[in-house]
Structure 1
Amino acid sequence: MYIKSSTLFAGAFALCAFAAPLPDCDEDTTSPGTSNAITKETLIAIEPKTASCAASPKFPGECADAARAAPAINKAFETYKITSKGEQAALIAYMLFESGNFTYNRNHFPEPGRPGQGSRMMAMPPFIKKYATAVAGAEAVAKAEAAGGDAGLNAVLELVISDDEKSFGSAPWFLTSTCTPEVRKGLEAETVDGWHDFLTKCVETTAAPERDPLWTAAKKALNSGN
């Protein structure tokens, strides 16, 4: 595994996007093809700080408030068929934690941050390359890498974070392509052990206690219908 996460903004994931059917005209466009859509109210119930980006003046262009994040998350869940509330809660909690409540799309800490690391999952450069290849194609990645060094890493990252759907799509791809069926069953069961197994056995990070409150809040919000 490439994923090692020892700080708030460390993770490593990739996206392999494919087309999803458009919703009918009378459907909620923030929840294409889903029966239990995530709304901005859902995200605010999980983490009230997502209601606004007003407290994020340093990197304002990177912050995604709940209204902006919800449709991108729904699209990603639809694309990768993440339908269980347990899996959805885990992915939302993990994204919130890694990106500082959707404040960051790049690694900035400790300053100046690690070149090439980003997305809402704070994917490490090797996975960003795989992710960008899937989303933008090998030719685009090669062109970006031609800049060389840190500039090349950041150019590849830009292919990944160029829109919200791509940036928020990494976690669902990672879950479906990397985690074992046993880990997924644990998330579906919504148990503490299942959540911690996801962190330690699939993400390969620590099951630090500070990660648990967001997961608990996400389960509560999704199961209450917020």
Structure 2
Amino acid sequence: MHFLGQLFPLLLLLTPGRAEESCEGSSSPTSSPSSSSSSSSSLDLVRVLETLGVAKECKAERKECRNATVVAPLLEASFKKFNIGCRQEAACLVGLMMLESVNATFMRNQSPGRPGQGTVNMQMCGFNLKWAKDLEPGTFSDVDSLECFDKGCKDAGKCNQVLDEVLKTDEGNFFSPAWFYHTQCNETEIKTGLRDNVSFCSDYVTKCVGTDGKNEDRLKRNQQAFEAFDVIGKTKCVPL
């Protein structure tokens, strides 16, 4: 079951795509940042995000847009909460987020407009149900599972309700990439490898996210993120 899907250009934007659910389960990082990398310079995440295309100032008509000064501290807090300690991991997650949300411009799937698909991770409804329950225990206690892969799905109304709940706060939106990585992917070997080397990012996208990690658009966007985070060629964890 996949999580995110193929994207295609619409003028200047890439359209978030399909997600089917896969890689359930919980997994924690099994290694700690390498002490040999501890001298790395501090990361200016605002600058990194602006370099990657996040707006310095959102246009008034872009109601779902968030600028880099808003996004950066939210991502930093999410990395801390979900034990993401290496730039390599962060670069992979940010590259994915940038593609799916079109540089933090959209919170909801734009095409084909699937009910309940959203957050900057463009998670499908089933994942957002889990995320909503984690954000606020007791929420949707009467709902065990949801699926919605097209506009006419039987769970459309409930899926939209779930997404509305998740998006009530910017935390619900921007903590989702780290939450998914930490709690919904049980590919320990890939996650351990990604802490040291971004070459494992495409494996994460394929095995856990459930879409083509070798897609040309994804590879290009990820490469930009790797450059911005200064992790190309690094083979040991560079601490955040």
Establish whether TM, by shorter chain, passes 0.5.
yes
Aligned residue number for residue 98 of structure 1: 100
Q: Note the C-alpha offset of 1:213.
A: 2.5
**What is the number of residues matched between the two proteins?**
196
The C-alpha deviation readout for 1:159-185, integer Å capped at 9, x for no partner, is 111111121111112212214221113
- Compared with structure 1, are the counterparts of its residues 183 and 135 closer, same or farther at alpha carbon in structure 2 (3 Å cutoff)? same
Aligned residue number for residue 157 of structure 1: 163
Q: Note the C-alpha offset of 1:118.
A: 0.6
The alignment status of 1:118 with 2:124, answered yes or no, reads: no
Aligned residue number for residue 53 of structure 2: 48
Under a length normalisation based on structure 1, what TM-score does the superposition of the two structures give?
0.76
Aligned residue number for residue 197 of structure 2: 190
Q: Note the C-alpha offset of 1:77.
A: 0.4
What is the letter of the counterpart of residue 39 of structure 1? L
Aligned residue number for residue 88 of structure 2: 86
- Compared with structure 1, are the counterparts of its residues 187 and 142 closer, same or farther at alpha carbon in structure 2 (3 Å cutoff)? same
Q: Note the C-alpha offset of 1:48.
A: 3.0
Greater helix content:
1
What is the root-mean-square deviation of aligned Cα atoms in Å? 2.8
- Compared with structure 1, are the counterparts of its residues 101 and 139 closer, same or farther at alpha carbon in structure 2 (3 Å cutoff)? closer
Larger displacement relative to structure 2 (130-139 or 201-210):
130-139
Q: Note the C-alpha offset of 1:89.
A: 0.2
Unmatched tracts of structure 1, length 5 or more: 17-34
The C-alpha deviation readout for 1:157-210, integer Å capped at 9, x for no partner, is 111111111211111122122142211133223343x12111111211012011
- Compared with structure 1, are the counterparts of its residues 68 and 12 closer, same or farther at alpha carbon in structure 2 (3 Å cutoff)? farther
Unmatched tracts of structure 2, length 5 or more: 8-14, 27-40, 146-153, 232-237
Moved segments of 4+, more than 6 Å:
none
Q: Note the C-alpha offset of 1:120.
A: 0.8
